[in-house]
């Protein structure tokens, strides 16, 4: 018999076709956002669950999962929505989908940088609402990216691709990481041992670290104060790394010129002030939203399931 896999969201057609060939999937054709109770109910008889970051596997949820469930193969690179300690204690294998998102997320990061710097949200609204009247030397003046200093927090796969793309704008790369990366990965980037040491060197700051207790509210009022006046902040990692009140205050005061955000605390119920600020370029968590990447994420999750059910160690095991 083929293993039974509960799939919590609607996945790309190519991924669901492979699921049907290799497994007995319980699909979600209407893309309903299941509650925890619904997941537990639908998982009865399932050998595995293939969820997204939208589903929360707390210790309480994991404890209530049917005994038949042996593996959670996430359709995401982040896995902060899963209590990995509870999963390990329960004997559940947990995997993610690293590497395949790097290019798409880096592309979106560059878009956020440009959109924030060149006041894209304001400009688009002016055109759509017919409030654009004429041209003048002082009209819609933004910030130029070319030749500026880019600070990157989290110099892993995504951070390094962002650095590579930013060099096309002749940007000078500075970074902070938990530890310094090998010289061949730096490609001339300047390492800073702490966030505090990095901040004064950032005309632009992008964040690409994982969500964890250590990175929660990593960008707070004290660190924002260390940034140059008029700096631009971009976040395409996880919402929890930013202290919303501190960022909003800096955007209102003019300490920061702008921000570009793709992720938020409590999304999609984001802090209401973000919607009111003209100097924030907002995207709806679409860092991985290209056809190529979404297919690759699904195939990577299925590769992990294939390995598990073949008795091999999954390539991307995180618990």
pLDDT tens-digit map of 184-225: 999 999 999 999 999 999 999 999 999 999 999 999 999 999
Q: Give the CATH fold of the 102-282 domain.
A: Rossmann fold (3.40.50)
Task: Kindly tell me the number of DSSP H helices and DSSP E strands found in the chain.
Answer: 13, 12
Alpha-helical (H) ranges within the chain are 13-22, 36-42, 59-64, 84-90, 102-117, 120-128, 157-166, 183-186, 195-198, 221-226, 244-253, 272-276, 291-309
User: 3-class DSSP state for residue 134?
Assistant: coil
Task: Give Cβ neighbours of residue 193 (< 8 Å, ≥ 6 apart).
Answer: 176
Q: How confident is the model at residue 305 (pLDDT cuts 50, 70, 90)?
A: very high
pLDDT tens-digit map of 214-240: 999 999 999 999 999 999 999 999 999
Q: Which of 191, 184, 146 is nearest to 167 (CA)?
A: 146
pLDDT tens-digit map of 75-127: 999 999 999 999 999 999 999 999 999 999 999 999 999 999 999 999 999 99
The pTM of this model reads 0.94
Residues with a catalytic annotation lie at: 238, 267, 285
- Confidence at residue 189, expressed as pLDDT on a 0 to 100 scale: 98
What are the boundaries of each domain within the chain?
4-96+291-309, 102-282
Calpha distance 143→166 (Å, rounded): 15
User: 3-class DSSP state for residue 93?
Assistant: strand
Domains 4-96+291-309 and 102-282 share a fold: yes
Residue pair 155/181 in contact by the 8 Å Cβ criterion:
yes
pLDDT tens-digit map of 16-37: 999 999 999 999 999 999 999 9
pLDDT tens-digit map of 241-295: 999 999 999 999 999 999 999 999 999 999 999 999 999 999 999 999 999 999 9
Q: How confident is the model at residue 166 (pLDDT cuts 50, 70, 90)?
A: very high
In CATH terms, 4-96+291-309 corresponds, of 3.40.50.720, 3.40.50.2000, 3.40.462.40, 3.90.550.10, to 3.40.50.720
pLDDT tens-digit map of 33-58: 999 999 999 999 999 999 999 999 99
Residue pair 319/94 in contact by the 8 Å Cβ criterion:
yes
């Amino acid at each position: 018999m083929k293993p039974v896999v509960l799939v919590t969201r609607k996945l790309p057609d190519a991924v669901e076709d492979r699921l049907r060939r290799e497994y007995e999937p319980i699909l979600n054709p209407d893309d309903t956002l299941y509650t925890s109770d619904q997941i537990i109910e639908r998982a009865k008889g399932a050998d595995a669950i293939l969820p997204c970051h939208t589903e929360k596997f707390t210790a309480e949820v994991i404890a209530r999962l049917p005994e038949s469930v042996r593996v959670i193969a996430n359709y995401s690179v982040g896995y902060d929505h899963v209590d990995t300690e509870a999963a390990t204690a329960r004997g559940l294998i947990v995997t993610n989908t690293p590497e395949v998102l790097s290019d798409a997320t880096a592309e979106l990061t560059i878009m956020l940088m440009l959109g924030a710097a060149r006041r894209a949200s304001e400009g688009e609204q002016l055109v759509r609402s017919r409030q654009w009247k004429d041209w003048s030397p002082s009209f819609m003046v933004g910030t130029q990216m070319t030749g500026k200093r880019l600070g990157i927090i989290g110099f892993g796969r995504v951070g390094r691709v962002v650095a590579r793309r930013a060099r096309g704008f002749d940007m000078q790369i500075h970074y902070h990481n938990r530890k310094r990366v090998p010289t061949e990965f730096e490609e001339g980037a300047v390492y800073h041992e702490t966030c505090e040491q990095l901040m004064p060197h950032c005309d632009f700051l992008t964040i690409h670290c994982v969500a964890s207790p250590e990175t929660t509210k990593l960008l707070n009022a004290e660190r924002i104060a260390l940034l140059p006046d008029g700096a631009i902040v971009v976040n395409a990692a996880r919402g929890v790394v930013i202290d919303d009140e501190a960022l909003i205050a800096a955007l209102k005061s003019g300490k920061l010129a702008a921000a570009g955000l793709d992720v938020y605390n409590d999304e999609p119920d984001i802090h209401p002030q973000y919607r009111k600020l003209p100097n924030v370029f907002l995207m709806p968590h679409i860092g991985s939203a290209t056809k190529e990447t979404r297919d690759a994420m699904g195939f990577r999750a299925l590769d992990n399931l294939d390995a598990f059910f073949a008795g091999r160690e999954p390539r991307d095991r995180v618990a």
